[in-house]
Amino acid sequence: MLLATAWMLPAVAGADGIVDNVNGLTLDKDGKVVRFQALLVTPDGHVAKLLGAKDKRPDKLDWRVDFKGKTLLPGMIDAHGHVMELGFRALELDLSETKSLAEAQAKIAEYARANPDKAWIIGGGWNQEAWGLGRFPTAAELDAAVGDRPVWLARADGHASWGNSAALKAAGVTAKSVSPAGGRIEKGAGGQPAGVFVDAAQSLVAKVVPQPLGKDRNAAFVKAQTILLSYGVTATADMGTSIEDWLTYRRIGDLGGLRVRIMSYGMGVDTTVQIGGTGPTPWLYADKLKLVGVKLYADGALGSRGAWLKAPYADAPGQSGAGFMTDTVLRNLMSRAAMDGYQVAVHAIGDRANAEVLDAIDEMAQTYKGDRRWRVEHAQIVDPVDLPRFGKYGTIASMQPTHETGDRVMAEARLGPQRLTGAYAWASMLKNGSKLAFGSDYPVERPDPWAGWAASFTRQGADGQPFGGWRPEEAVTREQGWWGFTGGAAYAGFAEDRIGRLAPGMQADFIIVDRDPLLASPTDLRATKVQETWVGGYKVWERK
């Protein structure tokens, strides 16, 4: 109950009100910029009207906020994130800023010393590429940091995890252990497990990691929500909601504590059907939570060479990655979900995986008519011959601009120069008639829509590299990039009738920022500071 009240910032809505004297900016439903100076808000937190400088203000208002000319934008929407993981990651050991194995080892040892009561050291964010290691780290290297208890650390992309000897022992993993379907135990001398477990093999150890308690889950959720609001994110897709995640959202919702709107995609068909029963839920808690569809996986990630390619990896000639399931199983799962009206979102990174998902969508679309909005999550490496296929059946390309800027060097190594024509091909997606939705894939990347927006029209990282942008022909316009993080992301979650832009009847979800993002240089845009975040006509976060 302490938590419940802590989130409750003073509300000024609940009555007719006005947010006045703002540099108001939004896109309209056609993606065109609309400017306004004031926003009328209804008692139930919706937008009543946008007003210009010369428009008369109503005489009777219950409340008024004067922002003295500051910039007001619709809340940002992240079309692909992992809410609970964001919270857990933020409360756990975080290696995402480490630049070398040695630095990571020191940080791990320090964290263990500072947390003597933790039976397991849990964390993540490591990336052997960022360390310049050129190979996975080993259990022995982790033992050197912490030997007295199990350590289990997820790779930045979540597609691999690294354990020390105590963790492997607790899990009973030995030289005799066999890699499960869809996963790989990295092996060392004599077939001994080397310490890293890729994709499905992670469960061999993960299953013995102590589960978080309800209070841990609540705390992780609250943490995640605060982080999202601090970036101006007022709605997000949750890509792979577990039963525990869902029950956590309900608990917080029951206490009146949901602030960020969650478009939930159940983790697999069984979970989705268990939650939804007969189909998607209605919008719950005044449009704060809805089970929209199902998240499926066609393959793994590029960094861990789990992405499924048409031809072998350039830097590992014997490997092409692998599909997470057979073609038939994928279609059966998509069909089972579509049958009950769940939206289907399939993770596909490699060109082979993308082709398989497009094949499956072709087949599904023959049976499941109407407005289905098939989603391909990431759509990262696409064979150019497959690009036009994204335009069929209103398929949504749910992409993450910061994956391009973060992964381009690694992607070049994995694929070689010949296979990058259809990589992170945002402009091609639009040109081919696909619907584009942008997200961050947090916590894989920071849930920072400003970095994503800047990357979307520059194809450059925070360092301004590469000069002129990487494959700049795939940049979108500044407005298209914004739409990807607002109206496009709302459309991708069947929520465009209530969020994604400011217009009469829409939820009054808006943010006050310290600069005009349409005038800012890319570097300035990345530095945008959100000052206040409002959801449904209530101020739910402000910068202290």
DSSP string computed for 408-434: HHHHHHHH-GGG-TTBT-HHHHHHTT-
Contact 419, 430 (CB under 8 A): no
Candidates 8-16, 192-200, 242-250, 511-519 — which segment interacts with a second copy by CB under 8 A? 242-250
Our finding on whether 5 is near a second copy (CB under 8 A) is: no
Minimum gap (Å) between residue 368 Cβ and a second copy: 18
- Nearest Cα neighbor of 217 from 84, 117, 402, 372 is 84
Our finding on whether 273 is near a second copy (CB under 8 A) is: yes
Our finding on whether 115 is near a second copy (CB under 8 A) is: no
Per-residue string for binding with a second copy, 151-190, x by CB under 8 A? Answer: ----------------------------------------
Q: What's the one-letter identity of residue 293?
A: G
| CA 301 centroid distance within chain | 14
Minimum gap (Å) between residue 442 Cβ and a second copy: 23
Our finding on whether 248 is near a second copy (CB under 8 A) is: yes
Residue from the set 282, 318, 370, 417 that interacts with a second copy by CB under 8 A:
282
For a second copy, the binding residues in 329-358 under the rule CB under 8 A are: 340
Contact 13, 537 (CB under 8 A): yes
Candidates 171-179, 276-284, 301-309, 512-520 — which segment interacts with a second copy by CB under 8 A? 276-284
Q: What's the angle, vertex CA 323, arms to CA 320 and CA 328, rounded to 5?
A: 140
Minimum gap (Å) between residue 225 Cβ and a second copy: 16
Candidates 116-124, 247-255, 349-357, 465-473 — which segment interacts with a second copy by CB under 8 A? 247-255
d(CA 477, CA 244): 39
In this structure, what DSSP letter does residue 474 have?
G
Our finding on whether 275 is near a second copy (CB under 8 A) is: yes
- Nearest Cα neighbor of 46 from 86, 85, 9, 17 is 17
Our finding on whether 278 is near a second copy (CB under 8 A) is: yes
Longest distance between any two alpha carbons in the chain, whole Å: 82
Candidates 81-89, 269-277, 441-449, 518-526 — which segment interacts with a second copy by CB under 8 A? 269-277
Label residues 311-335 b or e (16+ Cβ within 10 Å = b): eebbeeeeebbbbbbeeeebbebbb
Q: What's the angle, vertex CA 134, arms to CA 128 and CA 139, rounded to 5?
A: 60
Minimum gap (Å) between residue 533 Cβ and a second copy: 26
Radius of gyration of the chain (CA): 23
Surface-to-core class of residue 172, CB atoms within 10 Å of its CB (0-12 exposed, 13-18 middle, 19+ buried)? exposed
Residue from the set 16, 94, 129, 244 that interacts with a second copy by CB under 8 A:
244
Candidates 249-257, 357-365, 395-403, 492-500 — which segment interacts with a second copy by CB under 8 A? 249-257
Per-residue string for binding with a second copy, 213-232, x by CB under 8 A? Answer: xxx-xx--------------
Between 278 and 328, CB nearer to a second copy = 278
Residue from the set 284, 365, 409, 527 that interacts with a second copy by CB under 8 A:
284
Residue from the set 69, 277, 468, 472 that interacts with a second copy by CB under 8 A:
277
Residue matched to tokens 């006050």: 512
Candidates 149-157, 189-197, 275-283, 361-369 — which segment interacts with a second copy by CB under 8 A? 275-283
Binding-site size for a second copy (CB under 8 A) equals 23
Minimum gap (Å) between residue 337 Cβ and a second copy: 12
Minimum gap (Å) between residue 273 Cβ and a second copy: 6
Our finding on whether 281 is near a second copy (CB under 8 A) is: yes
Residue from the set 276, 443, 481, 487 that interacts with a second copy by CB under 8 A:
276
Residue from the set 274, 477, 521, 523 that interacts with a second copy by CB under 8 A:
274
Candidates 153-161, 243-251, 388-396, 507-515 — which segment interacts with a second copy by CB under 8 A? 243-251
- Nearest Cα neighbor of 275 from 262, 261, 260, 257 is 262
Label residues 219-244 b or e (16+ Cβ within 10 Å = b): bbbbbbbbbbbbbbbbbbbbbbbeee
Between 94 and 244, CB nearer to a second copy = 244
3-state per-residue secondary structure call for 51-92: ECCCCCCCCCCCEEEECCCCEEEECEEEEEECHHHHHHHHHC
Minimum gap (Å) between residue 215 Cβ and a second copy: 5
d(CA 180, CA 189): 20
Candidates 271-279, 391-399, 460-468, 472-480 — which segment interacts with a second copy by CB under 8 A? 271-279
For a second copy, the binding residues in 459-498 under the rule CB under 8 A are: none
- Nearest Cα neighbor of 350 from 397, 383, 316 is 383
Contacting residues toward a second copy, per CB under 8 A: 213-215, 217-218, 243-244, 247-248, 250-251, 254-255, 273-278, 281-282, 284, 340
